[in-house]
Amino acid sequence: MRRRRQSDRRIHLLLILLLSVLGLSLVRAVWLQTVRAQGLGELASSQQHETVTIPAGRGALLDRMGVQLAIGEEATSVYANPQTVTNPRAVAVAAGKALGVDPDVLYPQLLDKSKGFVYVMRKANPEKAKALEEQHLAGLGFLPEERRVYPQGGVAAQVLGYAGLDNRGLAGLELQLERYLAGRPGSETFVKDPFGRVLNVVRSVPERPGRDVLLTLDHTVQANAESVLRSTVSQWGAKRATAVVLDAQTGGILAMAVAPGFDANAYSQTSSELHRNVVVTDTYEPGSTFKLVTVAAALSEGLVNENTPFTLPYAIQVSDRVIHDAEPRGTETMTVAQILSRSSNVGAITLAQLLGPQRLARWIERFGFGKAVGIDFPGETPGIVLPVEHWSGSTIGNVPIGQGIAVTAVQMAAAFAAVANDGVWTAPHLVDHVIGGSRTKPDRRRVLSRAVAKNVLAMLENVVSEGTGTLAAVPGYTIAGKTGTAAKPDPVNGGYSTWDYVASFVGVVPASKPRFVILVSVDEPRGAIWGGVVAAPAFRRIADFALQYLEVPPDDPASLAAAPASP
């Protein structure tokens, strides 16, 4: 009997213990399902569901022949979810060995369980990332991405610009054409187990690739122009040199070169000063190349013809300034054609005084100076043109010879192209068309009559055949062009520098049937300052190559036969 009572007592104690455990479990279950339900639900969701963005492939930039200038290259971004990484140190060491990342930097990030996503390495080598993936380490993820690559290296780097690590355009055409190149990213939402392994894809939004863009650039002409500019900068110890090769009829730009340049693949390692496309973004005082506008205006207003003679002294007084020609001479009689070919400052000012400030200002505006040409490139400056109501008494002596006015290289090239294109100004452009879209239709407007344009072009031939631009001559071809030598403004002492100049040459080739306008400017050359000495030879080399490469037939065979044989 006693044993039976003891047995019943043990059973009761065991029952009470069981009921207590069940009661505690019930209380905890109620607490978890009510008080802690929301927090635990969010934690479970974060551990089981993961959404990643799938970047869209970026469109390519192609030259006019379809050669790739900017493309996307396969890469893999490796990331981790610290909440599902079971062995942070092992992951950090493995990533260090496979990808070359610093394990000591990565390890603390993997320990931070408050984060659900950290990059292990952005845009890693796909083969190295694959080797890491095959180790099946919990918590790691691998995302296919693109890395922007410039196959031609430094060719057209200032024009193309560059895209950043996230594949967004940051400069140049990469920035200008972002809406076409970028595409639309997609996304995928995964369900993963506690070890980070994908169990299922519950939602997927496909990405839309960006569109390719065909440019007017010719990478071969561009590369040659850059090579010529580099040697010119080296030869003359210059600060910088620029060149534009413009299709005289269409306004398409075959080359837009700046030296020194940089490799777009290593843009972050080079000075931002080298990134700027100064052909579009910077201004300079054009000097005598601007006499084209003065002469064309006087002809168009019917004040003179090419044979109108003027008796010109060596110097002329304009208000409080005395302006003279570049080379000392006595008083001479020059025709309008000779004023242009010999680049007489006194002659150009005399023509401007016939025009008067109001008419000269209208022609400056008509040629497109003082406003942006509207080129498809970011950061274009409109130049600096003083409103005629603010002109001083000496302005009529400065502006006609290209001083006291600032232009961009692309504006000046467009002005000469208007003369070459029978008087029709055409907006310069770099984009031929977006693949799948229509071709660019540039703005056009008549600036000069056909007769005046042909007259001016013939006068510009004299500049090369017997004037200041003889070193620009290309055997076998007629060349029409103009030299420019302009002192740079002195920002410290005021007035103009006696040391720093911009030497330039702008030419049309072949003059009998214009195909190209080529501009070359050299900033701060040393040893010589004259456009006919410094810039004209660079023009000749760029023009000679482009004519041969693009198989433009000679229009002056006699000069080809008379040219000395190459050594």
The residues spanned by each domain of the chain are 50-73+149-215, 219-562
Q: What's the pLDDT tens digit per position in 221-247?
A: 999 999 999 999 999 999 999 999 999
User: 27 or 66: whose pLDDT is higher?
Assistant: 66
- Pick the more confident residue, 48 or 532: 532
Using an 8 Å Cβ cutoff, are 431 and 215 in contact? yes
d(CA 328, CA 345) in angstroms, rounded, equals: 12
State residue 443's pLDDT score.
Answer: 95
State the DSSP string of 487-554: EEE-TTTSSEEEEEEEEEEEEEESTTS--EEEEEEEES-SS---HHHHHHHHHHHHHHHHHHHTTPPP
Q: Residue 420 pLDDT more than 80?
A: yes
Q: Do domains 50-73+149-215 and 219-562 have the same CATH topology?
A: no
Burial of 149 (0-12, 13-18, 19+ CB in 10 A): middle
User: Is the per-residue pLDDT at 166 higher than 90?
Assistant: no
* pLDDT averaged over every residue in the chain: 89
pTM of the model: 0.84
* CATH code matching the domain that covers 50-73+149-215, chosen among 3.40.50.720, 3.40.640.10, 3.40.50.1000, 3.90.1310.10: 3.90.1310.10
The residues with which 334 forms a beta bridge, in sequence order, are 310
Q: Residues with Cβ < 8 Å from 59, sequence gap 6 or more?
A: 177, 180, 181, 182, 183, 209, 210, 211, 212, 213, 435
- 41 pLDDT exceeds 50? yes
For residue 566, the model assigns a pLDDT of 44
Q: What value does the mean pLDDT take over residues 547-557?
A: 94
Tell me the mean pLDDT in the region 440-465.
96
Residue 75 has a pLDDT of 86
Element (H, E) at 354: helix 345-355
Class of domain 219-562: alpha beta
Q: Which one is predicted more confidently, 86 or 550?
A: 550
Measured over the CA atoms of residue 414, residue 416, residue 420 and residue 423, the dihedral's sign is positive
CB 210 within 8 A of CB 183: yes
Q: Which residues contact 41 (CB under 8 A, 6 or more apart)?
A: none
